[in-house]
Amino acid sequence: MTTDHYDVPTDDLVHRCEHCNRPFAEDELLTLHKGLDHPDRLDDEELAAFDEVYDEETDDLRRYQIIAVGAIVLLYFTLLIIYALI
């Protein structure tokens, strides 16, 4: 494997995973990473933090999915109408 996995800007605040040293730009991403990749090594507090961030993300994801479904419907009917007109 090559060694250029990460490219971390020097002037940014970096959140590093204490278990695998992977750098993250945001604290939330680090929390998610720890819960997903090192679930056995978390204490109760970290588990609670993971659940909270995960639930918040689920809400954002719902909003995205509504937009995505809307886009699919729009795409479908736009093409349907174009085909009907041509």
Partner 1 sequence: MYCRRLRRWGTLSSWLALLVVAVGPAAAHGASLDSSRETIAIPAWLFLLTGGAAIGASFLLASLVTDRALIDAIHGWRRTVPVPGEHLLRGFLQLVGVVGLSFVLVVGFLGPELGNANAAVLLVWVGWWAGFTATTYLVGSTWPALNPWRTIAELLPSLNRSYPERLGAWPSVAGLLGLVWLEVVSPVADAPGVLATVVAGYTVFTLVGALAYGPETWFETVDPISRVFRYYGRLAPIAREDGQIRLRLPGTALSETRLVDGLDEVGFVIALVWVTTYDGFVATPTWRSLADPLVSAGVPALVLYLLVLLAGFGLFLGVFVLGARYSRRLAGTYLSVAELTRQFAPPLLAIAAGYHLAHYLGYFLTLAPSLATTAATPLTLLETVPVLALPGWFDGVALASVLLGHILAIWAAHATAFDLFPGRLQAIRSQYPYTAVMVVYTMSSLWIVSQPTIAPPYV
Q: Which residues bind partner 1 (CB under 8 A)?
A: 1-2, 4-8, 14, 23-26, 28-30, 32-33, 36-37, 57, 60-61, 64-65, 68-69, 71-72, 75-76, 79-80, 82-83, 86
Q: Which 3 state secondary structure label does DSSP give 35? A: helix
DSSP 27: H
Tell me the residue type at 34: K
Cα–Cα distance measured from residue 24 to residue 14, given in angstroms and rounded to the nearest whole number: 6
CB of 47 to partner 1, least distance (A): 15
Residue (48 or 61) nearer to partner 1, CB: 61
